Amino acid sequence: QNESENAQMPKPYTQYTIFFRLERMRLLREAGFIDDEIRATLRPGHFDQNEHPRPAKYRDVEMPPFWYSSFAKNEHDGKRKHTKKACRFPLKELSQMIAANWKEIDEETSAYTKRLADMELTKYSILLKEDLLKSEEAEAYEIEEATLAKESSDCAVG
């Protein structure tokens, strides 16, 4: 299998990436930086049993559907516009705040983000195995076709 085929399947988010996405939305919400661009990704009334119940600290934080999944990211997020927002935190400052909070993560949040990361890793492993089986079946079929073609050409000559 070549690299371009592998590139189509995104790697699952790590526990830290899941924490980063969750904490980012919490910080933006607390600072009042939820704007129309962010609101456009939210789906009021969406309920995903995999992400609930959230830790108490994050229960009221609105998140886009399947925010914890790199597989769903392409389906739901689409292409985002790269525009600098004056009212939001600078990325460096935001990253430093989240990294500091990661060092102080409570057990409930750690277990929650680990559960989501493990769930996504399991899904990734299953999809990789399915993809590998498909490519092996396709390769076996091509070999069989080539063998049959060679045998029929040998019979025609003989």
Instruction: Tell me: pLDDT of 133 over 90.
Output: no
From 67, 65, 70, select the one nearest 11 (Cα to Cα).
70
Q: pTM higher than 0.85 for the full model?
A: no
How far CA 136 is from CA of 2, 122, 130, 144, in Å, comes to 13, 21, 10, 12
**What digits encode the pLDDT tens for the residues 28-47?**
889 888 767 778 888 878 88
| Torsion over CA: 33, 35, 41, 46 (sign) | positive
Look over the chain and give the mean of its residue pLDDT values, rounded to a whole number: 81
Q: Each residue of 6-33: pLDDT tens digit? A: 457 889 999 999 999 999 999 988 988 8
